[in-house]
Amino acid sequence: MRAAGFSPGEDLRVRVAEEGLLILETPAHALARARSRVAHLPRDRSYVDEFLAWRREEAARL
């Protein structure tokens, strides 16, 4: 594992990527990857609040 840049006993996450590839990554790398995916979103907007409001509206219609 050292050749891949991992230390013995280090926590790793496994995920399946496109075409069935297995990816090993540290939790820190997974977090950095997730943050980079949402970096373009405005910080002054709450998507969670918008989603919850939408769900409440949908539930009220039933």
Q: Which residue ranges make up each domain of the chain?
A: 2-61
Residue 4 is given by DSSP the state: G
| Residue 51 three-state SS | helix
- So what's the pLDDT on residue 61? 92
pTM score over 0.75: no
pLDDT band at 8 (very low <50, low <70, confident <90, very high): confident
Residue 16, beta-bridge partner list = 22
Q: What is the mean pLDDT of residues 17-21?
A: 91
- So what's the pLDDT on residue 1? 64
Query: How far apart, in whole angstroms, are the C-alpha atoms of residue 25 and residue 53?
Result: 35
Contact (CB, 8 A) for 12 and 24: yes
Q: What is the mean pLDDT of residues 21-42?
A: 94
